[in-house]
Structure 1
Amino acid sequence: MIPQVVDTVVYIEAGEVDTVYDVTTEVKVPEGLTAEDLARPVIQVADFETGRPAYEIYTFNRQVITVPLDDEAGSDTGVDRIAKQEIEREIRSVARGHVNVELTGQNNAIVYVEESDISYVIGKGGGRISDIEDRLGIDIDVRTHEDNPEAGGTATNGSGAETKPAGEVVQPEITARHVVIRMDGHVGETVEIQADDEYLFTATVSSGGDIQISRGSAIAEELEDAIDRKQRITVVPA
């Protein structure tokens, strides 16, 4: 709906026009993904002068996400971060120990888990990991932590987890239709929502300075469960 309401965005800095963006929409496979069945409506935000795409906005696993396309070389792109988060989320749903994710290509990843979790993650005849691969459009190689050649990694829980910013503690408000997280001063920022330092989902702060999650969705139910368990809800930069 955004391009039908706003087709041009003007970014002003220090009282001067800094950048002008064109906003369009098309059905395509999002940048960085390759599986054709992942095609969906994608809002493209492109530099008016050069025509170079700067951002893509689309729905991924029931989340509306904004992915920057001009990340600096050598750092994880927005797509990489989203891919890692979604892989971690899927694997954590079946693994009991901590999980490390390494992206080896646009549609390939290695997942390191505890040896005792290998059978749970792969599933009978490889059925469970195949289902996860189909949902994400990414080929996943499951290995144990002992096979990880790197001393570090991005652990999602347990010992050896990567140290991340503590984040801003928030108190979500539950209304009749939404779970609302107030984020004044962070308009337009893409952030991670965590419960007791464990990743829940990624979202972009609206122009109204909040994040609204429709009640009844899987994300809202997970967040409400965390609130009921009195877990600490924090917001950290994505």
Structure 2
Amino acid sequence: MSLGIPSEEIYVPDTSALVEGAVSRLVREGRIKGIIIIHRASIAELEHQANKGRATGFAGLEEIKRLRKLSNEGIIRVEISGDKPKTIDIKNLGSEAIDAMIRDYAYELGATLITGDKVQAEVAETMGIPVIFIQPTIETRLILEEFFDSITMSVHLKEGVPPIAKKGRPGDWVYETIRDKPLTRRDLEEIANNIIEQAKSRPDGFIEIDRFGSTIVQLGTYRIIITRPPLSDGWEITAVRPLKKLSLEDYNLPAKLIQRLNERAEGILIAGAPGMGKTTFAQALAEYYMRQGKVVKTIESPRDMNLPPEITQYSKNYADLGELHDILLLSRPDYTVFDEMRSDEDFKLYADLRLAGIGMIGVVHATTPIDAIQRFIGRVELGMIPSLIDTVIFIKNGYVDKVYEVRMTVKLPTGLKEAELSRPVVEVRDFLTDELEYEIYTFGEQTVVVPVKRFYERAGLGLLDRLARRVQQMLPGAEIRVENNSILVIIPRNLIKTYNKKIRRLRKIEDRYNVPIRVRIA
């Protein structure tokens, strides 16, 4: 290999510098002139990453293409050198060993090392190797932003298809074709590489997941999913962005719910269908608790909540759940927001932290409010559910559509007649009206979820009949009659002392539902 005349400067970039696209930028800026030697170990590592479908591999190979083009234009000389590791060595050595090979090679040549890795730069300097350390910089142009406007919720890009945008607001949106011309694979690769480069250089950018065939990136407010063949049938990029940031006050919640959030709610589930605004509400609730002087932390995948720096955001993708469990137990936040709970391990971590006394706010996908509670059935003991969940907030079209309160009691389940069938029952009540809507209990080896409200409706029972049944359960020895749009309670004289406290509760029912309840002593 010829290295040119001695007066020419020699530069050896490592893999991190190639992935970040920094070398070609330095050439265009005129900061480096002479010879750039790319070590075969870097190419082998990038090839290995690309074969695994990782965007970083493609980004690095694209940078080498750019350097080749600059070499053909006579701006710089590019040469390939160094021993290529075997494929099995690439798998086993790890990035640290590859870095060491490139660093030692730069030392032998007396070349300047170009790196974006802080540790690599520090080690090279201790060896006396000249170093150009690429400081993270914020790129000014994100190609993806060209597809967004002020009312765009998400953009869907796929090769061979014109770009499509979802515009509007949760519950009121339409799909629109942005451009008539279909995107090519090269278009998608250019956009993907731009995203990866920015995620590497911007302080608000994170490559959350980089798997075979897929990459998930959080870049500012954009949550970006990149898929490639063979996982998908073509290159595809989906980018989602929240339209606006809301505070809890913007939801105009009932005073009764605000009081509960302030005083009692410590096991909160926020549920709703995809795209309905669950995460936006969870974000508003997290900030509300922070303003109340509470210590709040989050577990996310990816970290797409837009929160102030006082709230620490943890990623599930950079630590196992055991490590997050230890961190949160030792740091003891007042509230932890667990976004996008999906797997058994997620629900187990939620349960462990809640039982340890940490206030938990879980976000789950559910098409109905009761579905959110049923996600816990089979994962935890039935009797633990009220200890884990006391409040369910269902979000629909960006608004709070339903609020449930979860309680445990011992009673005869609705529809059963034999007194000996009484058992522990989880009651799910409408929080604002206190109306019983569901009962959850075990029957034999089965756990059943009974829609009590629907049961009453099928039985043709109106509000008076339902309240009469409720009073009958409170006062089993009394005679209950429904007459003249009111409820008559006839109590045997010998049970008056036993029922004194319960009779006072009748007045609360009377006030809540505006139904007259008359008591007569027989």
The structure in which a higher percent of residues are strand is: 1
Same fold (TM over 0.5): no
Bigger-Rg structure (1/2): 2
Higher percent of residues as helix: 2
The alignment's TM-score, normalised by the length of structure 2, stands at: 0.14
Structure showing greater relative contact order (alpha-carbon pairs closer than 8 Å, 6 or more residues apart)? 1
